[in-house]
């Protein structure tokens, strides 16, 4: 708790529902909370590698067979805390184009690294229909979207990194 008090955004919620500002801890049953929603969240991660760097050092394994449940859980918690809700810029090869009730969805061709495979869905609003309509399977695109989901699933022998981007925009495209 002492380390938490040194940060500038510590907010404590104490037993009995009292809200106390940083530095005014008046109970022994206090928990640290996230920074206020007013804190800027306009960071853009430049590629999956940048987002993966939010995982604490030593957690991501060097080899696929070194994955553990704890490694996956810590990585996923890091994504939830530091990446979800932020913008992510990625390069993807179009594997398919579909539609939900509210969005157009571009599925990216899966990739494989030594320690994970990828499954990426990129959601575009109906306002982006023209841009999405110009895409064909095999096109390379660079997109920026808000991370709605980023998680390692328990797929054996190599985990799958699932990513869902929403409110995406196409920054650049190269036709096949």
For the segment 119-138, the average pLDDT, to the nearest whole number, is 95
Residue 114's Cβ-side half-sphere holds a number of Cα atoms within 13 Å equal to: 6
pLDDT at 41: 55
Domain 44-174 has CATH 2.40.50.140: yes
Query: What is the residue whose two structure tokens read 């609003």?
Result: 125
pLDDT at 176: 67
Beta-strand pair 44-46/87-99: parallel
pLDDT reading at 26 higher than 80: no
pTM for the structure as a whole: 0.74
Phi–psi pair at 163, nearest 5 degrees: -130, 130
pLDDT reading at 133 higher than 80: yes
Burial class for 79, CB neighbours closer than 10 Å (0-12, 13-18, 19+): buried
Residues 89 and 130 sit within 8 Å (Cβ to Cβ): no
Q: Where are the domains of the chain?
A: 2-32, 44-174
pLDDT reading at 124 higher than 60: yes
């Amino acid at each position: 708790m002492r380390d938490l008090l040194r940060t500038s955004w510590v907010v404590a919620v104490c037993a009995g529902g009292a809200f106390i500002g940083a530095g005014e801890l008046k109970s022994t049953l206090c928990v640290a909370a996230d920074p206020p929603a007013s804190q800027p969240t306009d960071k853009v991660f430049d590629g999956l590698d940048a987002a993966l760097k939010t995982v604490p050092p030593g957690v991501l394994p060097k080899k696929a067979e070194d994955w553990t449940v704890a490694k996956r859980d810590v990585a996923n918690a890091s994504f939830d805390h530091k990446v979800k809700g932020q913008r992510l810029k990625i390069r993807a090869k179009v594997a398919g184009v579909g539609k939900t009730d509210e969005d157009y969805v571009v599925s990216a061709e899966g990739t494989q690294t030594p320690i994970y495979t990828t499954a990426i869905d990129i959601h575009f609003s109906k306002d982006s229909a023209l841009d999405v309509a110009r895409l064909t399977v095999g096109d390379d695109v660079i997109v920026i979207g808000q991370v709605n989901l980023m998680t390692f699933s328990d797929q054996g022998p190599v985990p799958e990194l699932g990513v869902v981007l929403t409110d995406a925009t196409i920054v650049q495209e190269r036709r096949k």
